[in-house]
């Protein structure tokens, strides 16, 4: 598919970043070619080996300071990886969650001892991460979680079940959201690290049979009397979990918007190519004015979305991105992404409904963008609060 031309924003205009983008693209083309990604989709998960290779190539923890084993980059390096994952159609490989969500919790909230203990292996590819917040009875309403972590024998005993956990089958480093004091509401929530091969009582449940992201091993996880040492309490202080989660949310939501604008352009590019080659009534589908108008509308929305997301990235980089603005980006961009992908699928006719065509996969994969990371209804609750 021929990519659409997009202007490189000022903050990405750096020869070092351009070289990095080139090497990341080559890494995915070499290690995750279309045939291999298809095998992962059929297997329902990626092979562990891609994680190890990504670690060896310096892609895991690219923005982690060098003193903790990272590459010493910043969020712009992570953006390069997120973009290349979408542009090379490597769906299902949970590197975005690892680099953009879980590792930053350790960097931002871990004690010095925890950072030195954990981060080198999170950067080298020896450890694959997951964040276990959602439970069968608590998704949007995080305050309703029932998993407990009770003080016991110099550590904590964790009991509970989690669901929808990305990287669930492969992760061996799980950040668990649990109640350390049920009487304190949000202030009684803490984050505890479970290294799954070092504990008893941890079980992986079934890999969920989803409509999209076929190669992503989203799963149920069970914690039955799992004991972890007190040193595994993130930040070393009880009751900080809710704050730690909320603090990182603006960036996490912006990441979804970054994915959204990449997918919009991929969908438009695929549709321009398809409609130029497919004929009806003796002419390419592209030549119908309806096709051109629909694609023009999609392109206009995609450009507007991209400019807004770029503005949010600038604000994130200078430390001024607020929760409301990132909620606006997450909600509007992912809603628009789904509308654009739907229009593009329509222009493919029946072939758009066939999985072999990338647009069908984009349609299935993009749907969850409006649900996870805080549903778009929750984004509206946040935006409305600011009015
Ligand atoms: C593929 C996938 C991967 C995921 N990965 C992870 C992961 O790695 N870790 C993790 O912890 N979780 C993960 N999740 C869970 C995800 O974060 C939740 O699904 C999401 O937060 C919504 O929660 P829920 O599914 O329980 O829906 P519910 O909270 O039950 O919501 C159902 C509906 O009610 C609406 N609603 C809820 N509250 C309100 C309100 N106050 N006002 C208006 N409408 C409301 C919602 O918007 C939604 O439309 C993942 C989910 C999926 C599908």
Residues 4 and 269: beta-carbon distance below 8 Å: yes
Given this model, what pLDDT does residue 277 score? 98
Report the distance separating Cα 228 and Cα 240, nearest Å: 18
Q: Is 384 in the pocket of ligand 1 (CB under 6 A)?
A: no
Report the distance separating Cα 297 and Cα 265, nearest Å: 12
Q: Is 111 in the pocket of ligand 1 (CB under 6 A)?
A: no
Residues 82 and 67: beta-carbon distance below 8 Å: no
Given this model, what pLDDT does residue 4 score? 78
- Count CB atoms within 10 A of the CB of residue 342: 17
Of residues 315, 258, 292, 228, the one with CA closest to residue 87: 258
| Residue minimizing CA distance to atom 31 of ligand 1 | 140
208-224 pLDDT, tens per residue?
999 999 999 999 999 99
Residues 137 and 162: beta-carbon distance below 8 Å: no
CB neighbours of 100 closer than 8 A, spacing ≥ 6?
A: 78, 82, 251, 252, 255
Mean pLDDT across the stretch 238-259? Answer: 96
Q: Is 52 in the pocket of ligand 1 (CB under 6 A)?
A: no
CB neighbours of 310 closer than 8 A, spacing ≥ 6?
A: 9, 11
pLDDT band, very low/low/confident/very high, at 3 (cuts 50, 70, 90): confident
Percent of the chain with pLDDT over 90: 98
Give the number of the atom of ligand 1 that is nearest the alpha carbon of residue 208: 1
181-239 pLDDT, tens per residue?
999 999 999 999 999 999 999 999 999 999 999 999 999 999 999 999 999 999 999 99
pLDDT band, very low/low/confident/very high, at 11 (cuts 50, 70, 90): very high
101-116 pLDDT, tens per residue?
999 999 999 999 999 9
| Residue minimizing CA distance to atom 44 of ligand 1 | 377
Extract the tokens encoding 319.
């430390």
d(CA 136, ligand 1 centre) in Å: 10
Given this model, what pLDDT does residue 5 score? 80
Report the distance separating Cα 293 and Cα 253, nearest Å: 31
Q: Is 377 in the pocket of ligand 1 (CB under 6 A)?
A: yes
pLDDT at 58 over 80: yes
Give the number of the atom of ligand 1 that is nearest the alpha carbon of residue 101: 8
d(CA 19, ligand 1 centre) in Å: 38
Q: Is the dihedral of CA 195, 169, 374, 266 positive or negative?
A: positive
d(CA 135, ligand 1 centre) in Å: 10
pLDDT at 127 over 90: yes
Give the number of the atom of ligand 1 that is nearest the alpha carbon of residue 140: 29
Mean pLDDT across the stretch 304-333? Answer: 97
Given this model, what pLDDT does residue 266 score? 97
pLDDT at 122 over 90: yes
d(CA 138, ligand 1 centre) in Å: 8
pLDDT at 354 over 90: yes
Given this model, what pLDDT does residue 7 score? 87
| Residue tagged 């066939």 (tokens) | 354
pTM of structure = 0.96
Residue 309 φ then ψ, to 5°: -60, -40
d(CA 56, ligand 1 centre) in Å: 34
Q: Is 221 in the pocket of ligand 1 (CB under 6 A)?
A: no
Residue 158 φ then ψ, to 5°: -105, 130
Which residues are known to be catalytic?
A: 252
Q: Is 380 in the pocket of ligand 1 (CB under 6 A)?
A: no
Residues 129 and 171: beta-carbon distance below 8 Å: yes
Residues 195 and 223: beta-carbon distance below 8 Å: no
Q: Is 148 in the pocket of ligand 1 (CB under 6 A)?
A: no
Mean pLDDT across the stretch 370-378? Answer: 97
pLDDT at 240 over 90: yes
pLDDT at 30 over 80: yes
140-184 pLDDT, tens per residue?
999 999 999 999 999 999 999 999 999 999 999 999 999 999 999
| Strand-pair partners of 313 | none
């Amino acid at each position: 598919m021929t990519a659409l031309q997009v202007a490189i924003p000022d903050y990405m205009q750096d020869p070092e970043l351009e070289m990095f983008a080139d090497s990341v693209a080559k890494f995915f083309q070499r290690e995750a070619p279309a045939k291999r990604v298809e095998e992962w989709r059929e297997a329902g998960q990626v092979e562990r080996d891609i994680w190890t290779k990504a670690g060896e190539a310096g892609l895991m923890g690219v923005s982690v300071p060098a003193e903790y084993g990272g590459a010493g980059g910043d969020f712009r390096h992570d953006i390069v990886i997120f973009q290349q994952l979408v542009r090379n159609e490597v769906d299902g490989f949970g590197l975005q969650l690892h680099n953009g969500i879980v590792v930053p919790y350790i960097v931002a909230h871990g004690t010095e001892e925890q950072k030195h203990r954990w981060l080198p292996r999170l950067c080298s590819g020896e450890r694959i991460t997951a964040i276990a917040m959602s439970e069968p009875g608590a998704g949007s309403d995080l305050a309703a979680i029932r998993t407990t972590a009770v003080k016991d024998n110099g550590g904590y005993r964790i009991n509970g079940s989690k669901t929808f956990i990305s990287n669930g089958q492969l992760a061996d480093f799980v950040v668990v959201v649990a109640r350390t004091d049920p009487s304190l509401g949000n202030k009684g929530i803490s984050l505890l690290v479970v290294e799954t091969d070092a504990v008893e009582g941890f079980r992986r449940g079934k890999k969920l049979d989803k409509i999209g992201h076929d190669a992503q091993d989203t799963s149920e996880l069970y914690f039955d009397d799992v004991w972890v040492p007190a040193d595994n309490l993130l930040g070393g202080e009880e009751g900080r979990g809710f704050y730690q989660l909320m603090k990182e949310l603006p960036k996490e939501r912006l990441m979804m918007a970054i994915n959204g604008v990449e997918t919009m352009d991929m969908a438009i590019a695929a549709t321009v190519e398809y409609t130029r080659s497919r004929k009806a009534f003796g002419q390419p589908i592209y030549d119908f004015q309806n096709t051109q108008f629909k694609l023009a509308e999609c392109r206009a929305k995609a450009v507007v979305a991209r400019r807004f997301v770029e503005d949010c990235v600038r604000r994130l980089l200078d430390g001024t991105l607020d929760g409301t603005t990132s909620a606006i980006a997450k909600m509007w961009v992912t809603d628009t992404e789904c509308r654009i992908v739907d229009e593009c699928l329509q222009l493919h006719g029946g072939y758009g409904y066939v999985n072999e065509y990338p647009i069908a996969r984009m349609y299935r994969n993009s749907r969850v963008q409006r649900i996870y990371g805080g549903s778009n209804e929750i984004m509206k609750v946040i935006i409305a609060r600011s009015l």
